[in-house]
Homo-oligomer: A and B are copies of this chain.
Amino acid sequence: MASIGIVGGTGYTGSELLRLLSGHPHVEVRVITSRAEAGQRVADALPMLRGRTELVFADPADAPLADCDLVFFATPNGTAMAQAQALLDEGVRVVDLAADFRIKDVALWEYWYGMPHAAPALVDQAVYGLPELNRSAIEQARLVANPGCYPTAITLGLLPLLESGVIDPTRIIADGKSGVSGAGRKATTGLLMAEVGESFKAYSVAGHRHEPEIEQTLRLCTGETVSLTFVPHLVPMVRGIEATMYAPLIRTVPDLTEIVARRYRDEPCVDVMPADLPLETRSVRGSNLCRISVLEPQSKGVVVVQAVIDNLIKGAAGQAVQNMNLMLGFPELAGLDSVALAP
């Protein structure tokens, strides 16, 4: 059994890691930290884990993280970059679920995240943890930058069509919609159910941090200039992301679905759906899947790609576990084989 640590155990990605790892056959969570809850039993704070764990939240200051084989950072942006080097020096592998190591251009990162980067040297070393793109690199990585939730759905949706030169990379629209758990477990008025229930809105329309992350990946994959307009929206539900992407078709192809399906033929966590089946977020709720469908409506020269994920699983903790499995040599789906919970 590999020994696992989690820094930041009381947010949604932390508790989701605990949930997924509690059923993992090859690892054991040995340490979980929380400044606010230090000393409290995990199962008291997270009743769904009663009977599954005897862990107690450790104070970050004296948690024996260096004894772990791998440590997840399920922390706000800015935490992992301050602590990762010390763990790496001890031979601990690190997966950061926040954004600290996602963007290679440090100045760009600092612009969007509004703080100086504490460990620019590590940025180069970090592998962007999208297994469908970087599987071999992830297997060798010491430090993995787990992708953002929107970037996972949007990148997986667009990648095959961009790689095959079917759509214009300079005119991409991504209209994203997320359940409220994507905003984390911060006590803020704007996320109260009385504020966001039975309502719908766009947010961060002027610019969202996930846009440069998506553009970076798409540019690396295609070697071309990419221009993306991305507008996220908040859905009055708890879990799930749907992204609808639009791009001009620049090459006639007999079967759009076939292009996407071929790209992901051997991918265990991507399911390409026929365009005539409905693509609902509930079809991936609780699972580590990204489901995708693609079509060109009304022969108008615009390709529409839809992608759905569970933002906390394939969009966060599940993908982190998938990365961990690759890094530690376990079967890629260990701990990740749940069927989606629908209805």
Contacts and interface: CB of A to CB of B under 8 A. Distances in A.
Contact of A246 (B201, B229, B240): B229
A279 B233 CA distance: 11
Interface in A260-280: 271, 273, 275-280
Contact of A200 (B183, B186, B237, B304): B237
Given A229-B246, A231-B297, A297-B206, A240 B195 contact: no
Nearest to A340: B48
- State the copy count for this chain: 4
A19 interface: yes
Contacts of A175: 173, 175, 244, 246
B192 A339 contact: no
Interface stretch (A58-66, A281-289, A324-332): A281-289
A28 to B, nearest CB: 15
A41 to B, nearest CB: 11
A22 interface: yes
A341 B48 CA distance: 8
Contacts of A173: 173, 175, 246, 302
B198 A238 contact: yes
A252 interface: no
Interface string A58-80: 00000000000000000000000
Interface of A: 12, 15, 19, 22-23, 44, 46-52, 171, 173, 175, 177, 179-181, 183, 185-189, 191-203, 205-207, 211, 227, 229, 231, 233, 235-240, 242, 244, 246, 248, 271, 273, 275-287, 291, 295, 297-298, 300, 302, 304, 306, 308, 312, 337-343
A171 to B, nearest CB: 8
